[in-house]
Structures are given as C-alpha cells and as structure tokens.
Amino acid sequence: MADSLLNWGRWPGKINDYLAAGKASAINDVGDVADLFREAEVGLFAPHDTEGFAATIGRLLDDRDLRERMGRNARRLMVERYDWEIVGQAAVKVVESIGGSA
C-alpha cells in the first residue's frame, strides 16, 4: 500500500480475517493498520518493493516461533478488542454520550 494521505485511514477487510484466524501478516508500514501492528505485535513490516515483501514473507515462513507468537497476538487482539460484543458496547456508549438512547 502506498504511503499517501489517502491510505492513512484505510483498513483493508482482509486484515480482520487474518487477525481473527490468528495469522501473522506482512504489511507496508502505512497508516492506522501499521500503528495497530506495531502496538499489538501481530505481523512484520515489509518494504514497498516485491523482493523486500517476499523476503518479509519468507522470514515469517522460516521463523515458526515468531509466526506463532504473532499469530497468538493477532487472535488475542480480535477477541479482546474487536469482538462484536465489545464493538457494540463501545458504539452504545458513543450514542449515549451524545444524548441518544440505544
């Protein structure tokens, strides 16, 4: 993903799938997704070129301990922060905070 203003807020849907499946991922160091990956240690950052990206994927494939640890972190993140019940409760709080009823 290009490092441009348009991509800073992007959240590709497949990211949720990888996290929920407990899979470590390789992404470019761009935007909100990169911040989450950095904070939760759920994947590696890849350069913006084909060879560098392939090398990053290779590192995940070669380092089973790293891959499994990041995969566990990914699954834990989805369960603890992005479970539908948790997201729903947060949405209710937002609506209530602006004077609505949920």
Whole-prediction pTM: 0.76
What does the pLDDT look like over 37-77, one tens digit per residue?
A: 999 999 999 999 999 999 999 999 999 999 999 999 999 99
- Phi then psi for residue 46, to 5 deg, are -110, 150
What does the pLDDT look like over 72-91, one tens digit per residue?
A: 999 999 999 888 888 788 88
Are the CB atoms for 27 and 45 separated by under 8 Å? yes
Question: By C-alpha distance, which of 75, 73, 71, 92 is closest to 83?
Answer: 75
User: Of 20-24, 26-30, 77-81, which one has max mean pLDDT?
Assistant: 20-24
Alpha helices in the chain (DSSP H): 13-20, 31-40, 50-62, 64-81, 84-97
Query: What's the CA gap between 60 and 4, in Å, rounded?
Result: 26
More confident residue, 71 or 98: 71
